[in-house]
Amino acid sequence: MDYFINPVWFYWLGVCDGLKTLSIVFAVFSGMVLVSFIAGYMYNHAMVIEGEYEDNKHYMAMCKTGIKWSVAVFLPLLLIAIFSPNKQTMVEMQVASIATKTNAEWTVEQLKGITDYIIERIQSVK
């Protein structure tokens, strides 16, 4: 069959919409982990500055590594969550690709032809 919109497109719409939701959930989770590592780093840094715990440098290094990994996970997920379109937007994009000026002109011509035919049939009935 010659579809205007391929039915498989609707399947991929659902998949992409689910991936967007999943990326939002994981972005929130990785953001919380990032905040935890930053808080841990700041706390351990304050303890080292005060001179109370000199062995906190190991924990600070661990927090630095955690911050780097969290940022590496958080930023791509955040970008996916922000820039991936939702289901409605993707349907509108697909319809917009079909709704061209040529198609609109053809539709107007067909409607004029149908209208003229109906008028002729009504006049022939009188």
- pLDDT (tens place) for every residue of the chain, 126 residues total: 566 677 787 888 888 888 889 999 999 999 999 999 999 888 888 777 766 666 677 788 888 999 999 999 999 999 998 998 888 888 888 777 777 777 778 888 888 888 888 888 888 876
Separation of alpha carbons 58 and 61, rounded Å: 5
Separation of alpha carbons 98 and 102, rounded Å: 10
Domain extent for 48: 8-84
Residue 1: per-residue pLDDT = 56
Position 99 in a domain: no
Which residues have CB under 8 Å from 44's CB, separation 6+? 53, 56, 57, 59, 60, 63
Please return the burial class of 30, using the count of CB atoms within 10 Å of its CB with bins 0-12, 13-18 and 19+. Answer: buried
Position 61 in a domain: yes
Q: Across the chain, which distance is largest between two alpha carbons, in Å?
A: 105
The fraction of the chain above a pLDDT of 70, given in percent, is 90
Position 76 in a domain: yes
User: How many domains, in total, are found in the chain?
Assistant: 1
